[in-house]
A and B are shown apart, each in its own frame.
Chain A
Amino acid sequence: MFDGILLGQYVSGNSFLYILNPVNKILFCFTFMVLIVCCQSIFWTVNLGFIVLLLFFSAKLPFLAVLKGMKTILFFLIITFIMHIFFTSQGQVIFQYSKIIITLEGLLNALLIFFRIFFIIMINSILTLTTQPTEIAWGFQKLLYPFKIFKFPVDEFALMLSLALRFIPVLFQELGKIIDAQKSRGAEFDSPSFIKKILSFPPILIPMFINSFFRAEEIAMAMEARCYSNSQNRTHFTKIHTGFEDLFFVIFYTFITLVYLYLYYFKSYDLSVF
């Protein structure tokens, strides 16, 4: 019933990807994701993917962790792969056995989709394996700053985001305690009946909501007592540094993006099959 408190995929390490600024990493992921999604040929998808793999293994990241993360989508990936191979009827036939026909087009399509999803997951993993959730939140906060023009309360939102991140582990503990307390009173949570299962939730939810919202009031009082206000620029306890590595990394992926765009759109080599 309870999936445990494993949140995020962060694996500690000390390679260059760990030193980079989170904003930089988010922008890199975004750029590469757009490139791979827009790419319609297997040849260029694999080329881009090769660069991603190079980054991944040069940073000594654990490949096994990616496979674990892929567990939920693996089933989907295999089904689409098989569907595309066996149910595409147009194009050049390369294999035929009674009613099973495999066409070149079907095979290429299946491979393209497989590579696309696989490399996008690899790109996501580069971000989530090397960056702690709080750092990703910090990155998001920096990326939201342009929205200040539309009077979006960026500072308040950033504070709420970091508060929520801090609360998650505490709430997990509290949830565990409430579940144990209710179990000791004889509550049953693993009933196979849908209605009974739902009716077992309010004894967990009600204490949790009431406790947490009491706490909100208390923390607000504590913050007010410490003169919290949003009129000044807020500083951070830990500073995230931006160094030469970031500059090199930006130059690296901008260069690759430009070269790719030049080769793919302006010098369209006749590699359309692949």
Chain B
Amino acid sequence: MNRSKITLMLEISIAAAIAIVLSRLRIYKLPYGGSVSLELFPIVYISFKRGISAGLFTGMLHAILSMIFIENAIITFFQPVLDYFVPSMVIAICGFGYKKGLYVKEFLFFIAMILNFLSHFLSGFLYYGQYASQGQSKYLYSAIYNISYTLPSAIAISIIIYIFERKKIFEFSK
């Protein structure tokens, strides 16, 4: 095993650990458990720096770690897949922006966030939707709740991406 592979492994685990640390550094907190934070940024960072597969592994690691340090309840069997694994792993799409310009990066991040939102939305109306009472629209219930924290997080992270790109930190290596 050569050193570059070991370094890659270490970078992936460090990125996942930073994601957990940043999840505690909240910008705002919502009553139902969602929160506006820069939690997904390390996955974005590693995807831009190392490509898609590294991003996928980081996403998966982040999902398992956030399940271990459990905060929100697991309600059914497939709900953790939609609430933890898919949302973190779709961010790896940013890996297509490897060594590309700012606009490509922001665009890819935008698409990744839409997929992230869709996954949370699906989980919202499939699993939490049954807890919405009759007369309340499940779709609206899920969409409003999930937008309320996905959108501010997306805006915050895209600002951070802009700053990191300007300071050329994505290309940074020893």
Contacts and interface: CB of A to CB of B under 8 A. Distances in A.
Interface of A: 1-5, 7-9, 30, 33-34, 37, 69, 72-73, 75-76, 80, 83-84, 87-89, 113, 117, 120-121, 124, 128, 133, 136-137, 140, 156-157, 159-161, 163-165, 167-168, 171-172, 175, 194-195, 197-199, 201-202, 204-206, 208-210, 212-217, 219-221, 223-224, 228-231
A-side binding surface: helix, strand, loop or mixed? helix
Nearest to B60: A157
Interface of B: 1, 3, 6-7, 9-14, 16-18, 20-21, 24-27, 31-33, 38, 41-42, 45, 57, 60-61, 64-65, 68-77, 130-136, 152, 155-156, 159-160, 163-164, 167, 169, 172-174
B13 A124 contact: no
A9 B136 CA distance: 35
B33 A72 contact: yes
Given A75-B32, A198-B159, A163 B13 contact: yes
B17 to A, nearest CB: 4
B21 A175 contact: yes
Contacts of A217: 7, 174
A160 B73 CA distance: 25
A175 B14 CA distance: 13
Contacts of A34: 77
Given A4-B24, A83-B132, A33 B77 contact: yes
Contacts of B25: 1-3, 175, 204
Contacts of A216: 7, 10-11, 14
A80 B131 contact: yes
A83 B128 CA distance: 14
Given A72-B33, A198-B27, A224 B3 contact: yes
B70 A140 contact: no
A183 B159 CA distance: 22
A84 B133 contact: yes
Contacts of A37: 75-77
Contacts of A8: 68-69
Contacts of B61: 157, 160-161, 164
Nearest to B32: A76
